[in-house]
Amino acid sequence: MARRPDEEYDYLFKVVLIGDSGVGKSNLLSRFTRNEFCLESKSTIGVEFATRTLQVEGRTVKAQIWDTAGQERYRAITSAYYRGALGALLVYDVTKPTTFENVSRWLKELRDHADANIVIMLIGNKTDLKHLRAVATEDAQGFAEKEGLSFIETSALEAINVEKAFQTILSEIYRIISKKSLSSDEPAPASIKEGKTLVVGGSEVNAKKTCCATS
């Protein structure tokens, strides 16, 4: 059986969302994959998962995103998901300086557990809380340059720069992957999964129902 048209993709990119608890990782993910924001969201336990297929540099890319729990106790569980990830979105909260201070610790986590050439993007979330801002854009920008990360500020609530953040990291991953396959003459990287038979059930409907839109 062939894959359904909307399930066709050229590349499958695995990306992890990491960062301190409560910085808005899950809402960045739901904004990106379902265009939803949940004011009453629960803490993430272990890992959660979502995907979205989109156009990147003229190619169809399926982004497979693993959203991880922020609390330190879960690192032993969540770090297992870093393996095979091509990108990491490292999120802090622009209103909470400690979440920015902890970014270095998260970078160390990635260096210890993720692939060496993983693409990392630093994200300062919650820019909608203007009057509460406690981390200056310049400070984060400077830090990102020093560490060789790309950087963007977002508001998952107001849907500002969320699309751009994901587009940017996926493009970067694409450039690296396509360069690699050119040089090695391999047509596709290992993370591309093809030929799987899909029977699509009601899972997407269910996913929608569980959000706070109903309450």
Partner 1 sequence: MMSNSTNNSNSNSSHREDDRKESNSTLTGVDSRFNQTLRNVQGLLKGRSFPGKVLITRRSDPISDSGLRSPDIDRSFSDKDAGTSEQLDDSVEDEIQSNSKTNSSSTKSRSLTVNTESTSKESQKSTMGARATDSARLTKFTKALSGPTVILDKMRELAWSGVPSYLRPTVWRLLLGYAPPNSDRREGVLRRKRVEYLDCVAQYYDVPDTERTDEEVTMLRQIAVDCPRTVPDVSFFQQAEVQKSLERILYTWAIRHPASGYVQGINDLATPFLVVFLSEYLEGSVDNWSILDLPLEKISNIEADCYWCLSKLLDGMQDHYTFAQPGIQRLVFKLKELVRRIDEPVSRHMEEQGLEFLQFAFRWFNCLLIREIPFNLVTRLWDTYLAEGDALPDFLVYIFASFLLTWSDKLQKLDFQEMVMFLQHLPTQNWTHLELEMVLSRAYMWHTMFNSSPSHLAS
In the three-class reduction of DSSP (H, G, I as helix; E, B as strand; rest coil), residue 156 is classed as: coil
- CB nearer to partner 1: pick between 69 and 169: 69
Contact between 71 and partner 1 per CB under 8 A: yes
Q: Which of residues 37-66 bind partner 1 (CB under 8 A)?
A: 40-43, 45-51, 64
- x/- mask, partner 1, residues 123-152, rule CB under 8 A, reads ------------------------------
- DSSP letter for 91, please: E
Answer yes or no: are the C-beta atoms of 151 and 141 closer than 8 Å: yes
Contact between 115 and partner 1 per CB under 8 A: no
Instruction: Kindly give the residue spans of alpha helices, DSSP state H, lying in the chain.
Output: 25-34, 75-78, 97-101, 103-113, 137-147, 162-184, 203-209
Contact between 116 and partner 1 per CB under 8 A: no
In the three-class reduction of DSSP (H, G, I as helix; E, B as strand; rest coil), residue 127 is classed as: coil
- What is the enclosing helix (H) or strand (E) of 51? strand 47-56
- CB nearer to partner 1: pick between 184 and 203: 203
Contact between 203 and partner 1 per CB under 8 A: yes
Dihedral sign for Cα atoms in the order 91, 73, 115, 187: negative
Q: How far is the CB of 40 from partner 1 (least distance, A)?
A: 3
- What is the enclosing helix (H) or strand (E) of 66? strand 59-68
Would you give the end-to-end CA distance of the chain in angstroms?
Answer: 39
Pairing status of strand 59-68 against strand 47-56: antiparallel
Size of site (CB under 8 A) for partner 1: 37
Q: How far is the CB of 10 from partner 1 (least distance, A)?
A: 17
Per the structure block, which two tokens stand in for 63?
């982004």
Stretch that binds partner 1, among 70-78, 126-134, 143-151, 167-175 (CB under 8 A): 70-78
- CB nearer to partner 1: pick between 129 and 176: 129
Binding site for partner 1 (CB under 8 A): 21-22, 40-43, 45-51, 64, 69, 71, 73-74, 76-77, 80, 98, 196-204, 206-207, 209-210, 212, 215
